[in-house]
Structure 1
């Protein structure tokens, strides 16, 4: 599948630091067709004409409510820092590396369970009533399989409407550009031959979008999908008459770590539609160490910024 590979983990510390700072500030882009959105949290907190005068509290509230209403799963454009993708093979013969991976796996698993329990409890109207929100991870796993297949079929068929329906805007834009750049008479076919293993959840996160109790929650899940896929090209030119391009048919066994994302309304606890965010490579020990150092530095800066003199 010609899915877009996202380079979420930068190789150098300055670039990674800038990425995590952007993530920590929780900056989101919005769809051009979803109304008046926002580009950053500060932008809508300031409101219009912020350089000249400060808007009234009532106007700020209206701007904030309007901006929040446009924040859907399609607009999510950041990956949670600390997202861990387990490698397919662990270094069993290296005790030090195995210890680091074991700690990361345990931390990722415990964080997913704890946050789900925390928000389920927060959704209870009263202490003795049932929670309004449930994670339903097994259903999300089935949805990830369906989205993975739908995205691949839409990309092969050149169906940009379907791409925009199943992907976040940040992923749909380059995929649609890839479709537009194809040769005029070339047509592509894609088929999922079989699953080589059962898809499994590698990482799950849920966290607030913004520093506002009324803002939606963002939920992300990394699902490993191992499959055999067939890809072929057809020549639809007058000379080709729809025949298969010689040597274009390829069958490959792939393991893809697909990231799906959605939003949860904290007033109704209703979840938006899942969308494909992209794919991730397995997390290396170097990635783990870089993220650990950078997150520690950002936390130290945040504490210093809010330090009471």
Structure 2
């Protein structure tokens, strides 16, 4: 059993940058527009049942957040762009460069949003920001969580799964453990990390308030690509099997997994709670991204029209 594969594939859409012709920019208005667009994505999706991209499905979840700790953050940020390998880029020159531009733009938007939040945490202009991204530590957390979760799935350790996974991910993982044959024992081992000169690396970083309400906490999300070699095997612990390896179950594979971790940040104290695993993502494909981009552009145009004088 490929224990490290989470079995859940989520995705969504990202708020587009505001038009230069819109009203003057501020961090408060930017966060408010981002939050409102995410809500509209969820409402619009209910009427968009014929869209081919499964990544749009997670937009519905953005309407139902009632808790604010990391365990309850069962959403993926709109516009989470996971850059695929060049072999997955469009072949023709025009679509290739458009897709490459969107990848760079998405990365730049993520950086700007992080800087906005950092500046908004400053008590005053000449004082240091209270919130710091500490991305390097977050990447280490992603590696540790990825390993702990894979080991816990193999061992059937429900307590660890509940502790390190968001509820939406933990529930089906726990259900899959309960349905396993009692006589089968699973083992997972991290053999080594691969291509350490390139991995792990951050593919997406986002932060935005959950709602437009004053004091609403921020949700922070990182997508970290992790390359590793993993060893998986199943044992027959029945009286007949006597703990022997089940034939054909032993595998050693090289994987690159885009692990999504999430946490919340208190807007008053700027304290961040523990990182948790949200799931894994497939690389973003050009055809799916075009559907999402057009939907968000129409939503942003509708939102901006409300603020015109």
User: TM-score normalized by structure 1?
Assistant: 0.80
Shift in Å at residue 258 of structure 1? 0.8
TM-superposed deviation, 1:17: 9.8
Deviations 1:83-130 (A, max 9, x none): 100112344863223212221221122112111111111111111111
How big is the shift at 1:5? 2.9
Alpha-carbon displacement from aligned partner over 1:48-74 (angstroms, at most 9, x marks no partner): xxxxxxxxxxxxxxxxxxxxxx41011
Alignment equivalent of 1:132, drawn from 130, 139, 154:
130
**How many angstroms does 1:291 deviate by?**
0.6
Q: Aligned equivalents of 1:6 and 1:17: distance in 2? A: 8
Cα distance per residue 1:149-183 (max 9 Å; x no partner): 00100000000110011100000000000000100
Aligned to 1:161, the other structure's residue is in SS state helix
Please name the residue that 1:8 is paired with. Answer: 11
Contact 2:10 2:58 in 1 (8 A): no
CA contact (8 A) 2:234 2:250 kept: yes
Pick one of 70, 73, 76 that aligns with 2:70: 73
Alignment partners' CA distance in 2, 1:192 and 1:18: 33
The 3-state SS of whatever aligns with 1:241 is: coil
CA contact 2:237–2:243 (8 Å) conserved in 1: yes
The range that moved more, 84-93 or 267-276, is 84-93
Match of 1:152 in 2: 150
Q: Which SS does the other structure have where 1:297 is aligned? A: helix
Matched, 1:82 2:85: no
Q: How far off its partner does 1:4 sit?
A: 1.9
SS in 2 for 1:221: strand
Contact 1:228 1:253 in 2 (8 A): yes
Following the alignment from structure 2 to structure 1, what is the Cα–Cα distance between the partners of residues 90 and 51?
Answer: 28
**Quick check: 1:169 aligned with 2:167?**
yes
**Do the aligned partners of 1:26 and 1:210 also contact (CA within 8 Å) in 2?**
no
Ranges in structure 1 where 5+ consecutive residues have no aligned partner: 29-37, 39-69
Change (3 A) 1:21 1:190: closer
Count of residues paired in the alignment:
267
Q: Deviations over 1:262-284 (max 9, x none)?
A: 10001000001000000111101
Corresponding residue number in structure 2 for 1:62: none
In the alignment, is the contact (CA less than 8 A) between 1:220 and 1:261 conserved in 2?
Answer: yes
**2:226 equivalent in structure 1:** 225
Q: Deviation of residue 15 (structure 1)?
A: 7.8
Instruction: Give a deviation string over 1:164-220, Cα, whole Å, max 9, x none.
Output: 111000000000000001001111000111111221000100011011120100000
Say if 1:4 and 1:171, in contact at 8 Å, map to a contact too. no
Moved more, 83-92 or 222-231: 83-92
**Equivalence for 1:56:** none
Q: Report the equivalent of 2:298.
A: 297
Q: 1:92 to 1:26 in 2, by over 3 A?
A: closer
What's 2:115 paired with? 117
- 1:298 deviates by 2.3
CA distance in 2, matches of 1:179, 1:155: 7
Equivalent position of 1:34 in the other structure? none
